Amino acid sequence: MRILGIGYDPWKSLEVVNMLGTAGGWGTLRGLRQTYGHFTAPVESFEHGAKTGRIFINDNPINYYCFGNAVLDIDNLDNCKPVKRRHNQKIDGVITMLMCMRQFIDYERAAGTEQGKTKERIED
């Protein structure tokens, strides 16, 4: 199996990044900032995928818990990101899914422009 990317929150992550890099992950590590601007595209893509049935969330109780604790917060530029309903709740599962979506979006964009090639869209 080839790992294409490992996304992480760069805030206070030096130790884990060094550990993963030393274990051979230097080429795959990618910091994903937890800002409104960086979450907007993945949130919109995730919402669209969930509404159209292209994204399936399994029935693991942790998913229900995390999604139940999350609400979308919108800034004054109409960027959005999930935040906790209450400070003591966990939304790690939601954040992780959106970080994966961010990496997918960026990977698809890079693959489409790699070496001047035009990305072909695959139709269903």
Average pLDDT per 10 consecutive residues for the chain, totaling 124 residues: 89 95 93 96 96 93 96 97 97 96 87 53 38
Identify the pLDDT of residue 114.
Answer: 57
Q: Note the pTM of the prediction, 2 decimals.
A: 0.82
Cα separation, 38 vs 33, whole angstroms: 7
Identify the pLDDT of residue 70.
Answer: 98
Identify the pLDDT of residue 51.
Answer: 95
Residues 6 and 28 sit within 8 Å (Cβ to Cβ): yes
